[in-house]
Structure 1
Amino acid sequence: MSKRPLPKVDFLHPQGAPALYSQDSLHWHVFKNPVALFVGGITAVLLELAEERVRTGVWEHSIFPTDPLTRMERTGLMAHVSVYAPVEVAEKLIRGVVAMHARVEGKTPKGTPYRANDPELLDWVQCTVSYGFMEAYAAYCRPLTDVQRDRFYKESVASARLFLAHGAPQSQAEQRQLFEKLQPHLEAHPIVQQFLGIVKRTPAVPWFLRPLQSMMLRAGVDLLPEWLRERLALHGAAWKLRRWERSLLKNLGAALERLPIPNFPPTLASRRMGLPANHLYRGPGASGDLPTGATRHYQN
């Protein structure tokens, strides 16, 4: 069976078309960095696969076990569409995902019923995505304050509402409450190890990062709460991130904060909005400081 091609998305046109998130949002900064995207994506998926209903839905109704590269490419594209694509494009593609999820339901091996569009599961998935990408960015790209973290969660309403995750956390406090609520339902499972093995073998990052992919995989594990790493049996030496590796990834993440990638959605979207291609890549300073304080101007 031939695989379905990825949707073609024009991030450069039409000129001036706004995205769900504005160019002064934290999301525009966080989602531009390949280190944050890969490391944070690993953290988010591990949190999701630890939940019985989400795990069964993902493993039984997606192509990840058989075609992981295409599945990861689609996930990465949807992340960029949600943040950088024109509003009409983002809304159309997200509606397609929601419609697809409406057909995903069943019972877990334990007999627990699940629906992909269950509000509790939608809120959990949105929470894991925000937590994973944001904490990866803070750990390996640029530090974030608690005020900025709260702003990031508040901003996420822009796409969360379209994914029907109306109860997704809008602050760190709400994120911690949801982690505490779901903690009893998070568990070890062979699929977690299977997922990590698949990602380790699959060339899932740009060519210049592939020598570091295994290291970045462990960095994603490292961002999990300590209690969950222990519960998932991911606290041993095989998954430990060494000090020099952490330093290397931080240097790499910081370097990619200043290096625009040609024809990459963040640079194309900046040009669409009449900004320089390096708008998001100027580093700390008068034109490169991260947004702080109250959320401004994102679409709602």
Structure 2
Amino acid sequence: MKSYLGWKIDYTVPAGEPAFAAPDSMSWRIFKNPIALAIGGVAAVLLEFADARIRSGVWDHSVFKTDPIGRSQRTGTAAMVGVYGPQSAARRVIQGVTNMHSKVSGMTPSGEAYKALDVELLDWVSATAGFGFLTAYDRFVKPVSYEDKCRFYEEGDQVARLYGAQNPIHSPEDFDAMLAALMPRFEPHPINSEFLDIVKSGKEMRNVPKSLQSSLANASVSILPPKVREVLELGPEYDLSPLARMSLKSLGALAERIPVKGSPPAQAATRLGLPWTFAWKSPKAQQRILQAVPGLESASPAHPPAE
């Protein structure tokens, strides 16, 4: 059981209560992989910080500047609840986050007013999270087909709308269009390199080797759209070496095969009456199991994700 924003999150109860994502969804597949989450989460933050309104809102109204890793982990927990948690718990967490955001407003250093609940900002935050996790999985765990990329984005629609997004992306083209519209606002800032330096230092995650932390940070930069990386002035000092890339891919593939008992996907499977290792099984094996469990919703019974 995990605590977030004062609530106790138990992924094992109530028995049978569905999550917002079906157990054979792309979301269940991607969010179980810690390498994809680590790389994608940092990339999402960098994309958000490219816009001064979001950067100022986070920097001035949260503990990010004093506890960036902890704040990022809490954001990751909120995302995890939206995928694996019972819908009732997910709604409570989302409402809590929205209540906090309702109090966030201010001015950027250039004098532009912002509110955390501005729809344009909520749309972009939702898009960056989806892009980050999906792209990290695609590059460092397993290639994802175009059809499954669209499936992943579509699966996040309901949760994104609960957070206040009004234009959730449903395809890679949707992300590209939103990015193109916001690119003129993007600018470099010392906060980006400060954040990456903290990630690379390993100080905030002492149980993870410093060399791996450095590789994760560089990998996050590597999946940014090239034009964004150029605008943010994240130069060759953040290049990912071939050896580091190979090592991260090996870790990503390993994490894809080894079930973690007690993790959110394992507990969520138990809640739904499935084997706790369900999320780590192949799509074909998942379909066989789901067919034997009456009444359990499938992401797309006729078109399961590709092997």
TM-score relative to the length of structure 1: 0.90
Among the aligned pairs, what percent are the same residue?
A: 41
Partner of residue 282, structure 1: 281
Instruction: Give 1:207 deviation, angstroms.
Output: 3.1
Partner of residue 14, structure 1: 14
Partner of residue 114, structure 1: 114
Report the CA distance shift for 1:205/1:11 in structure 2 as closer, same or farther (over 3 A).
farther
Instruction: Give 1:293 deviation, angstroms.
Output: 7.2
Query: What is the CA–CA distance in structure 2 between the aligned matches of 1:53 and 1:182, rounded to whole Å?
Result: 11
Instruction: Give 1:7 deviation, angstroms.
Output: 3.8
Instruction: Give 1:67 deviation, angstroms.
Output: 2.1
Partner of residue 261, structure 1: 260
Letter in 2 for 1:151: R
Instruction: Give 1:51 deviation, angstroms.
Output: 0.5
Letter in 1 for 2:249: K
Secondary structure, counterpart of 2:114 in structure 1: strand
Partner of residue 230, structure 2: 230
1:57-89 Cα offsets, whole Å, 9 max, x none, are 010001011122431231121111111110000
Instruction: Give 1:186 deviation, angstroms.
Output: 1.0
Report the CA distance shift for 1:208/1:55 in structure 2 as closer, same or farther (over 3 A).
closer
1:204-228 Cα offsets, whole Å, 9 max, x none, are 5593566511101110010001111
- Listed as ranges, the matches of 1:76-225 within 5 Å are 76-203=76-203, 207=207, 211-225=211-225
Residue correspondences, number: 292
Partner of residue 273, structure 1: 272
Instruction: Give 1:177 deviation, angstroms.
Output: 0.4
Query: What is the CA–CA distance in structure 1 between the aligned matches of 2:100 and 2:302, rounded to whole Å?
Result: 31
- Listed as ranges, the matches of 1:55-74 within 5 Å are 55-74=55-74
Instruction: Give 1:17 deviation, angstroms.
Output: 1.0
Query: What is the CA–CA distance in structure 1 between the aligned matches of 2:261 and 2:126, rounded to whole Å?
Result: 29
Partner of residue 251, structure 1: 250
TM-score relative to the length of structure 2: 0.89
Letter in 2 for 1:274: G
Preserved CA contact (<8 Å) 1:41 1:129? yes
Report the CA distance shift for 1:285/1:18 in structure 2 as closer, same or farther (over 3 A).
closer
Report the CA distance shift for 1:211/1:243 in structure 2 as closer, same or farther (over 3 A).
closer
Report the CA distance shift for 1:293/1:88 in structure 2 as closer, same or farther (over 3 A).
closer
Query: What is the CA–CA distance in structure 2 between the aligned matches of 1:197 and 1:164, rounded to whole Å?
Result: 32
Query: What is the CA–CA distance in structure 2 between the aligned matches of 1:178 and 1:295, rounded to whole Å?
Result: 31
Query: What is the CA–CA distance in structure 2 between the aligned matches of 1:5 and 1:242, rounded to whole Å?
Result: 38
Report the CA distance shift for 1:129/1:217 in structure 2 as closer, same or farther (over 3 A).
same
Secondary structure, counterpart of 1:161 in structure 2: helix
Query: What is the CA–CA distance in structure 2 between the aligned matches of 1:100 and 1:203, rounded to whole Å?
Result: 28
11-20 or 110-119, which deviates more: 11-20
Query: What is the CA–CA distance in structure 2 between the aligned matches of 1:206 and 1:282, rounded to whole Å?
Result: 31
RMSD: 2.4
Preserved CA contact (<8 Å) 1:21 1:158? no
Letter in 2 for 1:247: M
Query: What is the CA–CA distance in structure 2 between the aligned matches of 1:13 and 1:141, rounded to whole Å?
Result: 30
Instruction: Give 1:120 deviation, angstroms.
Output: 0.4
Gap runs ≥5 in structure 1:
none
Report the CA distance shift for 1:239/1:292 in structure 2 as closer, same or farther (over 3 A).
farther
Preserved CA contact (<8 Å) 2:188 2:231? yes
Report the CA distance shift for 1:78/1:233 in structure 2 as closer, same or farther (over 3 A).
same
Letter in 2 for 1:18: P
Query: What is the CA–CA distance in structure 2 between the aligned matches of 1:199 and 1:22, rounded to whole Å?
Result: 32
